[in-house]
Chain A
Amino acid sequence: MTELAPLALPLIDAESPTVVHLSAEYYPYARTGGLAEAAWGLHRFQHRRGIPTTAIVPLYRAARKHVRNLQPLGEPYTLYFGARAETFQVLREFDPASETPTCFIQHDGFFDRDGIYGERGQDYPDNHRRFSGFAAAAIAALPRITSGPVLLHAHDWHCGLAPVYLRHWWGGDRWFDRIPVVLSVHNAGYQGHFGAEIMPDLGLPWSLFTLDRLEWYGKTNFLKGGLTHTDVATTVSPAHSKELRTPDGGFGLQDVFQAMGDRFTGVLNGIDLDTWNSRTDPHIAAPYSRADLSGKAVCKADMQRRFGLPLDPDITLIALAGRMVTQKGLELVVDNEALFDRRAQFVFLGSGERRFEDKLFRLQATMPERVAVETAFSDELEHVLMAGADLFLMPSQYEPCGLTQMRAQHYGTIPVARRVGGLADTIKDGITGFLFDAFDERGVLGGLWRAVTEHRGTAAWVEMQRAAMTSDFGWDRVAETYLDLYGRAIAIAAERNT
């Protein structure tokens, strides 16, 4: 691990604040998508750079197998959501598995379950209670974590009510009033919509059920609540921050994003360069680097062998990994006959919608020498794909940031992706990857056609791989941007309090 110079945060009342990340997912305790890694990655980087920080996450059943040494932080406490009373306990982990200072909100009734959001494809019916409870309990826990000033960084809809409770339950208390809030929207496609009738159950007044607060087409919207109460909001790429302001890309919240003006910006996530290092990666068949790419051919052969594909160094090996769902553009792939008509091998890794999995297995059965499918996603296999594939396909309908394309480029694997969100911001078309525009089978076909053409040229291909590997996707790249953003939130909060 490299030694990094400390970073200094702007001060609150002449004191350096503690940055407290609130997240429903956090690596390695709870993970369903990119949120866990993004929240953890940013936090770990800030921690390593000397910023006082803590993460607060729910103590899920799944998290218990990772935690090492939990100690209570004060006594259990009870919060009243209308007539409903809920008791929480804050636990601090010493020697944390996440390598970051981490606290857990314990409420076994809410979180000691098999799933994070639900089970067997069904959301838990009390998710509004679970995550409003988590948000309120986290705010209540803040004075136990530090007596000094706090900057709250909440992530996604699950924590959307944190600034709402902060302002309405604790408003008027100077210690809480001076807390600046940053809300990061990792995926605005998920907003936490619930019926209007839950408002009393949240312990919030009906006066907040208005167009400029939590009301959204007759429903209660957690994310909207967060956006209308936060000081600053971010999403995970500059391009996505523009898309979210449009009727086509705003998921019905475009007016809210527009109204925030320059208080809403896009900042790219980073990838963990210790985990994603092709020179030291323990999961791949041979190490390689930008200067010496010879190991990548060994990794390609290893990937072909593992997935039962014929060993062929020249054929274009195309990978698609992640959730096999509509958002990831699977419907543009599974029925796209022209794709499987060309000289290429495809490997699909990940599970998702049944209809897509079924079609992929049918493709594998029809052309086993060309198509391989593995629905059991694992970190190790993801590394194998990153190192072994020639191309990574990402035909996403939308992609707020995306980490796969960054990891792929870092590994000299060329992404072929739709020009949306973070994909547009991190892939240089024709230089480090290929971007296409149309969200239809033609777009995927055209993008892959360009990429496969490029793959046929030896020197040009190596040049492209090297250009991709030169791209800087580490967290230090965005550290300064976050410092500016935190400074902005601090200034806004200070102004609000004068």
Chain B
Amino acid sequence: MSMRFVLTLHSHLPWVLHHGRWPHGSDWICEAALDTYLPLVAALDRLETSGTDAMLTLGVTPVLAAQLAHPTFRTELDAYFAQRLEAIDTLPDELDQSGDTELIPLAAFWKFRVETLQATWRQIGGDLIGAFRRHAAAGRLELISSAATHGFLPLLGRDESIRLQLLVGRAEHVRRFGELPRGCWVPECAYRPRGPWQPLPSATPVADRPGIEEHLSYAGFRWFFVDAHLAEAGETYDLYSGVPRRTTKTSAARSPYRAYQVATAAAGRPMHVLVRDPKTTAQVWSRHGGYPGDGRYLEFHKIRYPGGLKLWRVTSTTADLGDKESYRPDEAQTAVAFHAGHFRELLDTVAGSATRHDRVIVAPFDTELFGHWWFEGVDFIEQLFDRLESDGAVVPTSAGQFLDDEKPNTVLALGQGSWGANGDFSMWLNPETEWTWQRLWPLEERFWNAAPHAVQRPELFEIIDQAARELLLAQSSDWQFIISTGAAGDYATKRFVEHCDALETLLPALEGAPVNLGHVRYVAAQLRDIDGLFEDLVGAVAAASDIATPVPQ
């Protein structure tokens, strides 16, 4: 029996529109569009033309979708194209003057590439969402959603916050893409089962908080992804007539090549989980042991200024930036062909050694890895689909389709963790970021204590609407991640503080403090001009805050 292959791309960028351009700000999303999103659309178009069976599970976070659909993004990307083409036009003379003549042929390469992508941009009418939507309707993509602003769910202080992230995530998805998502990319694959909660001594302890899957279920999602160690750390149960019983099997039953029902206290439909395959994914994301580290690929870190163009190849992972050699596109394409073939063989090898119950290879990645970090990554995906036949040992499918077909009946109590460094939460909660949580948690408390009353006062609707946006924006996991990596820590710190400050300005009105409501509404409107993502948040806040008081038995 063949195995299924679920290639999943998770696309996300924090809200950067109206918050700077370069080095940090809207250029991030323009780079991602030029490097990844547009090439991906072009690749899907070519796969369509060639009639190749391709099935990709594509996550687009609501905050990214909101940006891709925003008029500001279109203006910014038009300007970015113009700036790029101008830099390319002046490149030969500049290289000639600086004596880097061996790099001059790359100007033609870049000119062709950027003009081709600009043509794609124009062809889709500046509507990336529409392009993804079209490919989803044609059956090449299954679109999934995520938490609204990619909040790090296990560390959010209030259950209402987790619900709001997920409810808004699903609602924004249907608003953008016209269909409700069944799958959720849980930010950073961060999962916490039901149990006591106190991530820091300074946090108010909670004796029993619902597991993340319970909130996913409330929001209407059916399945999500976890990293392999969360499954490995869990306990499995087999279902007998719908009742979970402890299985005698051990680690073999926790194979990453199966899907599971998540053990949960939530009533309703089963919640399913797919497990990231460590073996195949490492081949792709690892810059050292994996494909992107091949010397023939474009070097990400060496950028020529002015102009911001990349002209060198990796050469070797140990080479200093000064020792990088000029990029040779034809050699890079040779490497792509080789690696796509190699990956196909790797999939066949996994399938060949699979047990009877192993049914699926799940390979999730950040979308921006392909094209942005690994320049040739989108070409790799395209060539990989060329090499996967619909009747082969490994058949590409979408996550939802696989779960519809297989209906997993092994129940798994998942462990806690994420797909980040160390497999735990430490990338987001560490001595460098502790202060962010200590600032955020009290704001969450104040917001959710005020919300149930505020959503019943029409004169506060505009304020609660914007306060919810600022709360969501302050919760983006990106701020802690960037602070932890140190790459743009000042920007992340500034952004986090700005959103917390904005929320703090609006909260007294929601709390019933004697404030000038007209002025606060004006402030809310000003903030909305900058941070105007998402709609109809009053209803979402109402739904998120409606948490049951259990009836005594």
A interface residues, Cβ below 8 angstroms from B: 239, 242-243, 246, 249, 336-338, 342, 419, 428-431, 436-438, 440-443, 445-450, 452-454, 456-460
Contacts and interface: CB of A to CB of B under 8 A. Distances in A.
A445 B538 contact: yes
A449 B536 contact: yes
B539 A456 contact: no
B71 interface: no
Given A450-B167, A453-B180, 4 more contacts: A437-B546, A438-B452, A443-B546, A457-B179
Contacts of A436: 543, 546
Contact of A338 (B218, B458, B544): B458
Contacts of A447: 543, 546
Contacts of B536: 342, 449
Contacts of A457: 174, 178-180
Contacts of B452: 438, 440, 442
A459 B171 contact: no
Contacts of A459: 179-180
B467 interface: no
A460 B143 CA distance: 14
Interface string B167-211: 100110011001110100000000000000000000000000000
A460 B173 CA distance: 13
Given A430-B217, A449-B540, A419 B548 contact: yes
Contacts of A338: 455, 458, 461, 538-539, 542
A440 B456 contact: yes
Nearest to A338: B538
Interface in B139-184: 167, 170-171, 174-175, 178-180, 182
B133 to A, nearest CB: 13
B268 interface: yes
B171 A453 contact: yes
A482 to B, nearest CB: 24
B163 to A, nearest CB: 10
28 contacts: A239-B551, A242-B553, A246-B552, A338-B542, A428-B267, A430-B217, A436-B546, A437-B546, A438-B546, A440-B456, A441-B456, A442-B452, A442-B542, A445-B455, A445-B539, A446-B542, A446-B545, A447-B546, A448-B539, A449-B540, A450-B220, A450-B543, A453-B171, A453-B174, A453-B180, A456-B180, A458-B178, A460-B220
A456 B174 contact: yes
A436 B175 CA distance: 23
A337 B551 contact: no
Of all A-B residue pairs in the complex, the 4 with the closest CB atoms, nearest first, are A449-B539, A457-B180, A446-B543, A446-B542
A49 B2 CA distance: 52
Nearest to A435: B548
Contacts of A460: 179-180, 182, 220
Contact of A246 (B180, B458, B551): B551
Contact of A445 (B179, B268, B542): B542
A152 B196 CA distance: 52
B220 A454 contact: yes
B456 A442 contact: yes
B139 to A, nearest CB: 13
A157 B547 CA distance: 34
A454 B220 CA distance: 9
Nearest to B544: A446
B545 to A, nearest CB: 6
B549 interface: yes
A298 to B, nearest CB: 23
Nearest to A339: B539
Nearest to A458: B179
Contacts of A441: 455-456
B180 A342 contact: no
B180 A454 contact: yes
Q: Which of B218, B220, B544 has the most CB of A within 10 A?
A: B220
A442 B170 contact: no
Nearest to A440: B456
A429 B547 CA distance: 13
Contacts of A337: 458
B394 to A, nearest CB: 28
B519 interface: no
Interface in B427-466: 452, 455-456, 458, 461
Nearest to B546: A446
B356 interface: no
B403 to A, nearest CB: 14
A242 B175 CA distance: 40
Given A338-B461, A449-B543, A437 B548 contact: yes
Contacts of B179: 457-460
Q: Which of B174, B458, B543, B545 has the most CB of A within 10 A?
A: B543
Contacts of B546: 436-438, 442-443, 446-447
Contacts of A342: 536, 539
A442 B455 contact: yes
Nearest to A336: B456
A121 to B, nearest CB: 30
A428 B546 CA distance: 17
A369 to B, nearest CB: 20
Q: Which of B217, B456, B545 has the most CB of A within 10 A?
A: B456
B227 to A, nearest CB: 27
A164 B193 CA distance: 54
Contacts of A440: 452, 456
A430 B548 contact: no
Nearest to A448: B539
Contacts of A453: 167, 170-171, 174, 180
Contacts of B545: 438, 442, 446
B550 to A, nearest CB: 10
Contact of A437 (B167, B171, B178, B549): B549
A436 B539 CA distance: 13
A193 B201 CA distance: 56
A347 to B, nearest CB: 20
B460 to A, nearest CB: 11
A437 B542 CA distance: 11
A449 B180 contact: no
